[in-house]
Amino acid sequence: MGHGFGHLWKFRGIITYRLSPFELKPFAGAISHGFPNTARRILESIPYSVPPLAIGYLVYDWVETEHHRLMKKNPADFANDK
C-alpha cells in the first residue's frame, strides 16, 4: 500500500490542510473570544431561566408561609381553658 495512516485515500478536487497538534495553541483566544462569548451566552439565557426560578421561589415561599400559619394554634380557642 505504501501510504501512512490518514493518507489511504486519494481525493480528487478536494484540498485538505492539516496542522500538527504540536503547533496548535490550546488557549488561543481564551481571553479575547472565550470570556465575551461566555458572558453573551449567560446574558442570552437569563430571560429563559430567571422567570421560572423566580416563580418557583415565590410559590415555595408562599407554601412555607401558609404551612407555618396553619400550624400555629389559635389563642382564641384556648381562652376559657384552666
pTM: 0.55
Provide the pLDDT for residue 4: 66
Average pLDDT for consecutive 10-residue bins of the chain (82 residues)?
61 73 78 91 96 98 96 87 78
Q: Would you give the distance in Å from CA 43 to the centre of its chain?
A: 11
Provide the pLDDT for residue 43: 96
Provide the pLDDT for residue 16: 73
Provide the pLDDT for residue 6: 62
